[in-house]
Amino acid sequence: MARIELVNLRKEFGALVAVKDINVTIEDEEFVVFVGPSGCGKTTTLRMIAGFEDPTAGEIRIGGRVVNDLEPRDRGLGMVFQSHALFPHKTVAQNIEFGLRMKKVPPAERARQVQEVAEMVRLTHLLDKMPAQCSGGESQRVALARTLVTHPSTFLLDEPLSSLDAKLRRELRAECDRLHQALKRTFIFVTHDQEEAMTLADRIVVMRNGVIEQMGSPMEIYSNPVNSFVADFFGSPSMNLLSGEVVHESGMCRFRCASGGFQVGLPDRFNGLPAGPITLGIRPEHVNAVPVGNGATNDLELAVRLVEPLGKETLLYFDVGMERPFVTVSESTAMAELDSGARLGLTLAREQICLFGPDGHRIRAGSAA
């Protein structure tokens, strides 16, 4: 049983508050990903769970027991580091064996378990090599095996894939997923890569500046972000965020963009919204782009600045006079052939529109007024 509870957990480094009183409960066998930009406190949180940092305040409970004062080795956890942290003077086999030796497992049993775990992560051919002779991906597999063999109740993974190239990263990501399903253990994974978080997690914890912004399943986070930060952080390309204001025209609530001079009617649920500054968010896949002049009425017409064919779909970039271009994604093959400068009519899927107040918080309906 490894239910991990973080209760009002706080960490200060001098004047800097790295983690601000967070509360998270991680269920047994759950795969939780802590994600956020660098400096958000996710790694500090993981290191506190591991026991390498002492919390300034708050409690860490593993299986109901407060472990604040336990040494890392007594917490029953396994950790994989970003830098792999293999023992450079020991062979791969000796690296894997280390944890078993510390537990005084007899040699014959050690050899058997090393062999078993090496087969599990497919590195039997590396056992006699030194870590310096292993590639990045191989090193990370050794680090994984070294942790696996000690049968920890929980795996802590600190950006384990970020030092690898894209292809290897995908491979090892699949490996992590497979291991989680096979082992039925708790996994806590820290990353700054939203894609990793989306693909691996049962539940995502989004952090920023030491605070948890949102917790939920990947789809919840993606389709129902609580604020503009989360909305922006997830998805590739990320959500379009247009700053502007709410205006009322003939009883209808409309959004007027601060630049570009276009207006979009808002769904009925926002009718009660007071006039004032607001940010409209819409994901690229929720904007329909069609060539101008087919008779349909569009929300706005813009000239394409850049066409990025990705094969299955095409990304279209428009200039709306803001820092970031407005992006849409189209599955129509005709779009890939467009020249930049061509004018397109865009329609926003009304129900998918997200509104964020000046403080970045999501506005769910107009009744708040």
How many C-beta neighbours within 10 Å does residue 34 have? 29
Supply 363's token pair: 């506005």
In angstroms, give the least distance from the CB of 282 to another protein.
Answer: 42
Applying CB under 8 A, among 42, 110, 141, 146 the residue interacting with another protein is: 146
In angstroms, give the least distance from the CB of 65 to another protein.
Answer: 17
In angstroms, give the least distance from the CB of 109 to another protein.
Answer: 16
Applying CB under 8 A, among 37, 72, 107, 274 the residue interacting with another protein is: 72
Report if residue 73 touches another protein, rule: CB under 8 A.
Answer: yes
In angstroms, give the least distance from the CB of 164 to another protein.
Answer: 15
Q: For another protein, how many residues bind (rule: CB under 8 A)?
A: 27
How many C-beta neighbours within 10 Å does residue 318 have? 22
Applying CB under 8 A, among 2, 4, 9, 79 the residue interacting with another protein is: 79
Task: Give the C-alpha separation, 119 to 126, whole Å.
Answer: 11
Task: Give the C-alpha separation, 312 to 96, whole Å.
Answer: 43
280 neighbors 250 (Cβ within 8 angstroms): no
How many C-beta neighbours within 10 Å does residue 161 have? 26
Applying CB under 8 A, among 43, 150, 154, 194 the residue interacting with another protein is: 150
Q: Which is nearer to another protein, 83 or 367 (CB)?
A: 83
In angstroms, give the least distance from the CB of 185 to another protein.
Answer: 15
Report if residue 70 touches another protein, rule: CB under 8 A.
Answer: no
Nearest to 316 by CA among 332, 327, 303, 331: 327
In angstroms, give the least distance from the CB of 95 to another protein.
Answer: 9
Report if residue 71 touches another protein, rule: CB under 8 A.
Answer: yes
Report if residue 160 touches another protein, rule: CB under 8 A.
Answer: no
Applying CB under 8 A, among 46, 67, 86, 123 the residue interacting with another protein is: 86
Applying CB under 8 A, among 68, 83, 181, 333 the residue interacting with another protein is: 83
Measured between its terminal Cα atoms, the distance across the chain in Å is 46
Report if residue 141 touches another protein, rule: CB under 8 A.
Answer: no
Supply 120's token pair: 């599990």
DSSP 101-160: HHTT--HHHHHHHHHHHHHHTT-GGGTTS-GGGS-HHHHHHHHHHHHHTT--SEEEEEST
Strand partners, 308: 315
Which residues in this chain contact another protein in the complex, by CB under 8 A?
Answer: 50-52, 71-73, 75, 77-79, 81-83, 85-89, 98-99, 102-103, 132, 143, 146-147, 150
